[in-house]
Structures are given as structure tokens and as C-alpha cells.
Amino acid sequence: MKNTTASKREQGFSLLELIIAMTIILIVLGLAGSLFSKSLGTRQRESSRTDALTAAQAALNVISREIANSGYGIAGNGIVSNESASQQIHILSNVINTNTVITDPGEDITYFFEPTTQSILRHDANGGGVGTPETSIVINRISSVNFRYFDYTGSNPIPTEVNPATTATNKVNTGRVRVTITVSMENVIGQVNPQNVTLVSDVTLRNADYMLQQY
């Protein structure tokens, strides 16, 4: 009787026990693989999100800097009223200041939104030399860009927002421009889509008449 019991113990696991063990292992491996895949997907999305926001912030800084220099070396604030609206701004300056005529690169700039490619474009009337225009993409994957104009008159420190919906609005008294960029984020499964992030920059026109009186 003792020999029979020892013999049964030496037989090891039964086929059913092996099948159950393998099934449990496969389930655990499947769950681990799913979690790992989701982790990689989240990391990739966050990396893409960070890159998109970094690029948008860099573009906003460049646009803000050039708008702030609008009117430098010339009379007025440098905003071309009939070519500046909610999705476009045309600015003039004499930044290089090598002559009295605006003919150098970076002195006759238009920023505008291109909905087909979802890009912000920069048009430099003299980017390729005197009278030779150059257009380049500042950033893409943008849902929208918006320019708002705030006028200062007399000694009133409180600005009045002008209607930028039409290019006919006179912006001769504009002393501040608010630039708003909306960045398109990649769709994320299980969350409300599309996800957009908005970046805003309030730009003071240092060369506007009102601003010059503050120095």
C-alpha cells in the first residue's frame, strides 16, 4: 500500500492541471502585454503633445517679438489697417535702419492662417531681397490663429477693443495686440475629442504713440 502511494506521487502533474496552469500564465501575459502597449501609447501621445506645444510656444514667441517691433523707425504703430484682421496681421518697421525706405528683410511682414494646411504662414515682402517676397510656414497642426486689437487714445490707460472682423477697421491707435493660437492635439481613445490647447500672448506695441508717451 505504501509503495502504491509513493508511485502516484512520483507521476507529477496531471494533464488537466497543466492546461489550467498554462491558461493562467497566458492570461497573465496577455494582461501584462496590454498594459505595456497602453503605456507605450500614452508615452507616445504625451511626447507628441509636448513637441506640438513646444513648437507652438516657439512660434508664438517669434510672432510676438516681430509684432512688438512694429512701427520701429517709422511714423505710427506700423500696422497696415486694411490688411490686418482677425486671422491676419500686416506690420511694417525699419528694424535694420540702414536706410529710410522699408526694403530690408524682416521689415514688411504679414502673418496669416492657412486653413487648408492648418498652418500659420509668414510672408516677407523682401525676404529674398528688395522686392522679392518669401513665404514660409511658421508652424502647422494649428486649429486657428486670432488677432485682437486694442486701441489707446489720449491719456486713457484702459484700451478699447476694435472689431477685427473686417480689414476696413482703422487701427492707427492700436497699442496692444492679443495673439491666440489653438493647437490641435491627436485624438485619444476614451477621451473627448478633438482635444485643443490654446496659447495666448498679449503684445505691447512699443512704438505706438500711446506707449511712447509712457517712457
User: pLDDT truncated to tens, each residue of the chain (215 aa)?
Assistant: 555 555 555 556 677 777 877 888 888 877 777 776 666 556 666 666 777 788 889 999 999 999 999 988 888 899 999 899 999 999 999 887 766 678 888 899 999 999 998 899 999 999 888 889 999 999 888 888 999 999 988 777 888 888 766 656 688 889 899 999 998 776 665 555 557 888 999 999 988 877 777 65
> What is the distance between the alpha carbons of residues 123 and 111, in angstroms, rounded to a whole number?
6
| Phi then psi dihedrals of residue 112, to 5 deg | -150, 160
Are 140 and 166 contacting, i.e. CB atoms less than 8 angstroms apart? Answer: no
* DSSP class of 106: T
Interior angle at CA 199, CA 213 and CA 78, nearest 5: 35
pLDDT score recorded for residue 68: 92
How is residue 11 written as a grid cell? 507521476
Which residue has cell 473686417? 166
Residue 5 domain flag:
no
Closest of 112, 115, 172 to residue 142, by C-alpha: 115
Closest of 145, 142, 79 to residue 110, by C-alpha: 79
Residue 25 domain flag:
no
Are 92 and 108 contacting, i.e. CB atoms less than 8 angstroms apart? Answer: yes
Residue 21 domain flag:
no
How is residue 175 written as a grid cell? 497699442
Residue 26 domain flag:
no
Q: What proportion of the chain, given as a percentage, has pLDDT over 70?
A: 77
Residue 22 domain flag:
no
Residue 104 domain flag:
yes
Residue 138 domain flag:
yes
pLDDT tens digits, one per residue of 33-46: 777 666 655 666 66
Give the count of domains, the chain: 1
In which domain, by residue range, is 58 found? Answer: 45-212
Residue 131 domain flag:
yes
